[in-house]
Structure 1
Amino acid sequence: MAAVAAEFGRDLEEDFTIVERLIKQAQAEGVRLLALPEACLGGYLLSLDDDAEHDEGPPALALDGPEIRRLTALAGDMVVIAGYCEAEGTRRYNSVVCVNGDGVLGNHRKVHQPLGEDASYSSGDRFHAFDTPLGRLGMMICYDKAFPESARALALDGAEIGVCVSAWPGSRTGASPDLAQDRWKRRFDLFDRARALENQIVWLSANQSGTFGTLRFVASAKVVDPGGDILADTGVGAGVAIAEIDVTRALETARRAMGHLRDRRPDAYPPLSHAAGAVPA
C-alpha cells in the first residue's frame, strides 16, 4: 500500500496527468491500495482566513460524474482514494472517494472544518467503514483526525485500514523555516501514530506538498502499522510512502494480548456530546 505527498492545483487536466503518473508508478511497484491527498482533483483553498480575498474554490464534481468515472478507469484493479470537491445540488462538500475499476466503493464528506473552511464547504455528518477487495476500510479528511472519535467510529464499524487524506499546512504563526521542525507538522505526525495505535488498525496518511495560495503544506505522507510505528514516510517533500503489510496478520498480532477495542468499558464513559466546559443548549 502507498500514501502520496504531491502538489495539486485548480487545473483538472494537469491534476489528472499527475494522478495517472502516480497510479502507473504505484502499479509498477505492485501497490494494491493508493491514497492520494485531499483536494487532489481541483486543488484546495487559497487561504483559511475568514477575511481572505474571495476564492471561488475548486471545481465541484458530481460523485456519479465523468471525472470520478475517469478516476475509476485509471484505477483498474487497484484501489485508489482521492480527495475532491463534491457537488450535491447547491451544496459543496470537501470529500474523498474510494474507487477501483468496478466503480465507487465508498465516499466520505469532511465533518470537522478548521478556521474559515466552512465558508466554502458544507459539513458531512457521519463516519462509516465499507468493504473493499483489500479489507474493510474507513476514510477521513485532514482535521477529522484531530478528533479521536472519528477514527474510533470507523474502527467500531469494523475498519481494518484507516485512510486520512489531507491538505495540512505548516503553522500559521511562528512558522519554522525548516518544515521538518514545524509544530503543525509534529501534530500531523502525532495524530497519525495515535489514531493507528489507539484503534490498532493500519493507517495511511496522504497530504498535499509544496505551496498553494498562502498555504505551505507539510507533506509527510506515511504508512503506520497497528502498533503506531511508521513503516514508510516521505518526509516534508513530495514522494510516495510504500509499505508491504499483511493487514489481517498485523491486526491479529497487535490485538493478541491487549485489544483496545475489545477492552473498552463504554459503561464507564460519560456522555461526550458536549465539549468540556460548554453549556448545553
Structure 2
Amino acid sequence: MTSPRTAASALPAGAPLPTVPLTVAAVQAEPVPGDVAGNARAAGALSGRAADAGARVVVLPELFLPAYHPPTLAADPTGTDVVADAAGLVDDPRLDPLRAAARAGGLTVVVGAAVRLPDRLRTIAALVVDPAGTVRAGYHKQQLWGDERDLFEPGDRGATLVVDGWHLGLGICYDGCFPEHGRAAAADGAHGYLCPSGYLAGSAHRRDLYYAARALDNTMYVVFANAVDGADPWRFNGGAAVYDPQGRPLARGADTGTDVLVATCEPAVLADTRAAHTMLGDRPAGPGAGRTRLVG
C-alpha cells in the first residue's frame, strides 16, 4: 500500500510502466446476508476458478463477506464485521478458506468487507489478501452513498496496490462515480483501478458508463466487480467487467448469474494508449479556473 495520494500536474515519474502482462478477474456473485464464513468459502471457490483461468489478481464485490444488505448490517454489526488492528491486519478464522485459495493460487484477492477499526469506527473496506494469505484492510471507502452514512464512517485517504510492477488504485462503488477519485489514483501512478461494487437493478446505464469513463479519463485499466441477483429491494445487476485504457470492455458479465470474468492487462497496450492519448501529461493544474461569465 502507498501513503495518501497527492495531486500532480504531470504524468507521475515514480511509477514506471509495467513490463509484464497481468491477468485479472472481476467476479459477480450473490453472497448470503450475514454469513461471513459461508461467503468467505464462496469467495475462495470463486478465486480458485480465477486462478485456474490464469488470474493473478481477483476482485470480488463490495461488502461481499457480510453481503450488501443494510438490514442485516444494522441488526448484527458484531457478526457481520471483521476487526482490523492498528496496522490494518485482519486475523479472523472465518476467512481461512479465502486465505487458503490465495496461497494455493498465488493470488492477490480484493474483497469487500465491513471493518471495525481499533478506534471503534466502522467502514466499508476493500480487504487485500496477498499470496502468503495475509489479510489487511487495504482501503476504506471515501464516498459513502445514501443510507450507508447511517452505518459507516468514510475513509480519509486513497490507496494503491502493487502487483508484478502494476500499480492498481483501489476504489469502492460510489467512489468511481467521482472523476477526481480515479484521477487521484492516476496521479499517484496507477496503471489500473480496482472497484468492488454493489449496483442495484435498474442502474445498468450508470454501471456501464462510470467505470468505462474512469478508464478513458485516466488511460488505465479498470476492473469492476459487482454483486448480482438477490431479493428486492436489494437486488443487484451484475455486469462485472474489465475495461481497457480506452474504456472498451475486454470482458463483461450478464445482468444475472454468477460469473468470473478474466482478461489480461498488457503493458504494450497501456504504453501505446498513453502515447496516443496524453491527457495525464497535458492536463493543466486547475482546469476551468478563471472562468468568464456570459449573459445571454
Tell me if both proteins adopt one fold, taking TM over 0.5 as the criterion. yes
The aligned amino acid for 1:154 is A
Equivalent residue number for residue 65 of structure 2: 41
Q: How many Å separate the matches in 2 of 1:216 and 1:126? A: 30
The 5 A counterparts of 1:40-79 are: 40-46=64-70, 55-57=75-77, 59-63=80-84, 64-67=90-93, 70=96, 71-76=98-103, 77-79=106-108
Question: What is the TM-score of this pair, normalised by structure 2?
Answer: 0.79
TM-fit CA distance, 1:244: 2.2
The 5 A counterparts of 1:154-193 are: 154-170=185-201, 182=202, 184-193=203-212
Equivalent residue number for residue 217 of structure 2: 198
Equivalent residue number for residue 40 of structure 2: 16
The aligned amino acid for 2:92 is P
Equivalent residue number for residue 3 of structure 1: 26
Equivalent residue number for residue 143 of structure 2: 112
Cα deviations by residue, 1:23-72 (Å, 9 ceiling, x for unpaired): 2211111111111111111112336xxxx996435611123222586333
The list of structure 1 runs, each at least 4 consecutive aligned residues, that deviate by more than 4 angstroms after superposition, is none
The aligned amino acid for 2:61 is P
Q: Does 1:138 align with 2:159?
A: no
Q: Does 1:245 align with 2:265?
A: yes
Q: How many Å separate the matches in 2 of 1:147 and 1:68? A: 33
Cα deviations by residue, 1:84-127 (Å, 9 ceiling, x for unpaired): 01111321100002222233577111111111111111111122
The 5 A counterparts of 1:189-228 are: 189-212=208-231, 214-228=233-247
Higher relative contact order (CA 8 A, sep 6+): 2
For the aligned residue pairs, the C-alpha RMSD in angstroms reads 2.2
Question: What is the TM-score of this pair, normalised by structure 1?
Answer: 0.84
> Secondary structure in 1 aligned to 2:171?
strand
Q: Does 1:86 align with 2:115?
A: yes
Percent of paired sites with the same residue: 28
Q: Is the 8 A contact 1:105 1:132 kept in 2?
A: no
Q: How many residues align?
A: 254
Q: How many Å separate the matches in 2 of 1:26 and 1:2? A: 6
Q: Is the 8 A contact 2:193 2:223 kept in 1?
A: yes
Q: Is the 8 A contact 2:91 2:135 kept in 1?
A: no
